[in-house]
Amino acid sequence: MLSSCKKGGEIVVYPSFGNLSISGTLSTYLLVHIDNKITDTLKKDLNIKLEEGAHKISFFDDKSKLILDTVMDFEKGKTRFLSNFLYTGKGMLFPDNDLTRKPAPGKMLVRFVLLDEELPDEMNLDLILYYTTPVNYFSMNIKINGVRKDKFSNYIELAAPLPLAPVGARTAQYVLEGYDLNGQKLMSIGATSAANTFGYIKYSAIGAGTTYIPNNIISLGIGAKISATNKIHNPIVIFERVAN
């Protein structure tokens, strides 16, 4: 803290400041509250000077719904970051900061979030092992329940998609069937009213050309249908890293 003296000898203390840097991808604007007061509108990257010490940082949408609420400490001359996030219109998604997290050797971790506006706010998913040439598919008996639009699901751990391969199969892929909370199937691979509306685990940007990368950790969004005629749900890799 800096100080000086008034004429009468009274000491005046001047505050020191740190900086808050906010950057990410937004589908719409958010209101930024600092210590319960509206401070700014977040539409793109934003920098705010704050007196050193602890401050409550809150984000609200245009309907006054609380999106993020946290407390951060600021030091003189130093910058704290809220960055590399995706705001979906339902929730704010951040990378997994637990760098000690890793799959078993040679396996892969995947977590999910719903991004398609036409899907319900919460669904239950089944993992299916899908083969082409000839076509065949099998349930993996892996369920991912309570997948939402405002936060990521828990991780599931996957091995290379090799078991149960039919003779002559050339391509193996993990795909997802989905149900609403009443049990109605909305994403399907089979011969139902929702046939060929499944999702799938996207080709990795780190290892293009395969849906399985050993030691990879993926945060995956289940996006909108690819087109009016191709109703398969487009997967979007939101965050990705390879565990050391």
Is residue 5 situated within a structural domain? no
**Residue 80 structural domain:** 17-93
Q: Is the full-model pTM beyond 0.85?
A: no
In a domain, 10, yes or no: no
List, as own/partner pairs, every contact residues 165-171 make where C-beta atoms lie below 8 angstroms and the sequence separation is at least 24, other chains included: 165/131, 166/131, 166/134, 166/136, 168/133, 168/134, 169/131, 169/132, 169/133, 169/134, 169/136, 170/132, 170/133, 171/131, 171/132, 171/133
**Ranges 31-45, 113-127, 162-176, 191-205: which has the least confidence:** 162-176
Specify whether 147 is located in the same domain as 172.
yes
Residue 102 within any structural domain of the chain: no
- Domain identity same for 26 and 68: yes
Residue with the larger pLDDT of the pair 231 and 136: 231
- Does residue 103 lie in a domain region? no
Q: Is 151 among the domain residues?
A: yes
Nearest to 212 by CA among 223, 201, 221: 201
Query: Within this chain, do residues 118 and 225 fall inside the same structural domain, yes or no?
Result: yes
Domain count, the chain: 2
In a domain, 225, yes or no: yes
Pair (227, 132) in one structural domain: yes
Q: Do 80 and 137 fall within a single domain?
A: no
- Coil, strand or helix at 36: coil
Domain membership flag for residue 67? yes
On whether residue 12 sits in a domain, the answer given is no
Render pLDDT for 133-164 as a digit per residue (tens, 0 to 9): 667 788 889 999 999 999 999 999 998 765 44
- Tell whether 141 and 217 lie within a shared domain: yes
Q: What is the CATH number of the domain that holds 77?
A: 2.60.40.10
